């Protein structure tokens, strides 16, 4: 079951006389006292929207610049590791295997 797609084609026919009729109807419905309040509220809303949109745009620009600076920064590679035991520091030099703890029992000796 398909539904017909409705577009906003009716907006194309709205011209000067139609807008004047809409404004006259709004003036009659709300009165002259409320229209300035509506206009102020609309102006504040538009200002806040523009401020939020520019904030998001600036955030995207900053993130792109930060990403570009990370890509263009030279990468510093660490020096190659030392391969000979003499060149290794004492902290990471190989150590001899540890002896098992003395438990009073010697391996290979039978208890009598």
Q: What is the DSSP string of 14-77?
A: --HHHHHHHHHHHHHHH-TTHHHHHHHHHHHHHHHHHHHHHHHHHHHHHHHHHHHHHHHSPPPP
pLDDT digits (tens, 9 = 90+) for 5-60: 566 666 677 788 888 898 889 888 888 888 888 889 999 999 999 999 999 999 98
| Single pTM value for the model | 0.40
What mean pLDDT is predicted for residues 76-97? 62
Query: What does the domain layout of the chain look like in residue ranges?
Result: 32-72
């Amino acid at each position: 079951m398909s539904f017909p797609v409705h577009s906003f084609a009716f907006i194309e026919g709205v011209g000067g006389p139609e807008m004047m009729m809409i404004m006259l109807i709004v003036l009659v419905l709300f009165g002259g006292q409320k229209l300035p309040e509506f206009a102020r509220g609309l102006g504040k809303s538009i200002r806040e929207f523009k401020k939020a949109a520019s904030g998001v745009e600036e955030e995207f620009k900053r993130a792109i610049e930060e990403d570009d600076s990370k890509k263009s920064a030279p990468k510093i590679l660490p020096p190659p590791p030392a391969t000979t035991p003499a060149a290794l520091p004492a902290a990471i030099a190989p150590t001899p295997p540890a002896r098992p703890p003395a438990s009073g029992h010697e391996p290979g000796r039978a208890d009598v």
